[in-house]
Chain A
């Protein structure tokens, strides 16, 4: 009798994670973890590579607010074969850029076979504002969140959407923060606002949602880092979002007696950057029996290692070591047995 070995992989967005803080550059981490577990639950920041993505049957695309509720034991995850994906476009997107997004959507319908509903345009510009906090994290707010929620309601009730892709017009970027991001350093200046946008829809409607920013195209730049290069490939950041949402698990009440729902108690391990242990999900999951694996060489702008909050975790130097820790854990092998020196058994003091 066995249970599926289930891992949660977290790389919070907007905190300058050296791996995963750029253009879907944690996808290799997700692919590797997916190889050593039965089920990987992760979130859009890990899997969104703009035009690039990698969809696997045992990898679940779970939006951050939904993941927080799942970790809190309030929501469970119901696997699906396919979601009808609704598309919401910010009224503020210019006609040419809107056309690019509609063509990206049509491309996923024709070339990937995704099922998209008729799209909805918000009744007001959403009005995204960006900020960088004292801690160095990226955050953002919306002038018109109600317009977003009205559009989502129309998409669900009238278009029949089961998951929502949101495209908001973001300020066209310039300046040091933006240049550093494209060169593979620093914090993604738009990430925090993106999370707020999708969180609003997931909180209100309890269905999968994710965001892709609408930005004007940029001239070719030889200084773009490989980690940020996936965002240079096209006119939109939409394909990865549509692919992710097309098979994102639905949210169910965790107390349901329904079979086949994945709950927080089903989690065996969580992999997280060592300094980013201050989020709601990791605090809640630390209360379960799951093993927390903190990765030292994925540095972030945050300064919250597990011990600072009384969270029990094992710390490894790299994702390669993390994979080893997961394999050992899954096999029921104590990490101490894989070291050359093993102390004799001691009496309890």
Chain B
């Protein structure tokens, strides 16, 4: 297993539930999410910045 710090930008939605799903879906493209948070939002661009640590299998 390896651990990786990553960042992502996610489209803001009106629904916190949808946002949570969108964030996890994006992070899952890059590994198994371990810890993440939205750190900043930009209403003008409609984006949320996310910072995260994900894990990957060594053989992946």
Q: CB distance B17 to A133 under 8 Å?
A: no
Chain A interface size, as a band, is 35 or more
Does A146 sit at the interface, judged by CB under 8 A? yes
A148 closest partner in B (C-beta)? B1
Q: CB distance A309 to B48 under 8 Å?
A: yes
Q: Which residues of B does A touch, CB under 8 Å?
A: 1-5, 7, 12-17, 19-20, 34-41, 43, 48-51, 53, 55, 58
**Chain A, range 128-142, C-beta contacts under 8 Å to B:** 131, 133-135, 137, 139-142
Residues of A within 8 A of B58 (CB): 146
The 8 Å CB contact of A310, one of B7, B14, B40, B53, is B14
Does A62 sit at the interface, judged by CB under 8 A? no
B38 closest partner in A (C-beta)? A278
Q: List 29 A-B contacts (CB under 8 A).
A: A64-B35, A65-B35, A135-B39, A135-B49, A139-B53, A140-B53, A142-B3, A145-B55, A146-B58, A192-B53, A199-B34, A199-B35, A200-B55, A276-B37, A278-B38, A279-B38, A280-B20, A280-B36, A283-B17, A283-B20, A287-B16, A287-B17, A302-B39, A303-B40, A304-B40, A308-B12, A308-B43, A309-B38, A310-B14
Q: How far is the CA of A149 from the CA of B34 in the complex (A)?
A: 14
Q: How far is the CA of A310 from the CA of B4 in the complex (A)?
A: 29
Residues of B within 8 A of A199 (CB): 34-35, 53
Residues of B within 8 A of A65 (CB): 34-35
CB distance from A342 to the nearest CB of B (A): 30
Residues of B within 8 A of A145 (CB): 1-3, 55
Residues of B within 8 A of A283 (CB): 16-17, 19-20
The 8 Å CB contact of A146, one of B1, B7, B15, B34, is B1
Q: How far is the CA of A283 from the CA of B19 in the complex (A)?
A: 8
The 8 Å CB contact of B39, one of A64, A140, A303, is A303
Q: Which residues of A does B touch, CB under 8 Å?
A: 12, 15, 64-65, 131, 133-135, 137, 139-142, 145-146, 149, 192, 195-196, 199-200, 203, 276, 278-280, 283-284, 286-287, 302-304, 308-311
The 8 Å CB contact of A278, one of B4, B7, B37, is B37
CB distance from A167 to the nearest CB of B (A): 18
Q: CB distance A196 to B37 under 8 Å?
A: no
Most chain B CB inside 10 Å of its own CB: which residue of A149, A286, A304, A309: A309
Most chain A CB inside 10 Å of its own CB: which residue of B3, B5, B36: B3
Interface contacts beyond A15-B37, A141-B4, A149-B1: sample of 13 additional A-B pairs, CB < 8 Å, sorted by A:
A131-B5, A133-B51, A139-B53, A145-B1, A192-B53, A199-B34, A278-B48, A280-B20, A283-B16, A286-B16, A302-B39, A303-B41, A308-B12
CB distance from A223 to the nearest CB of B (A): 29
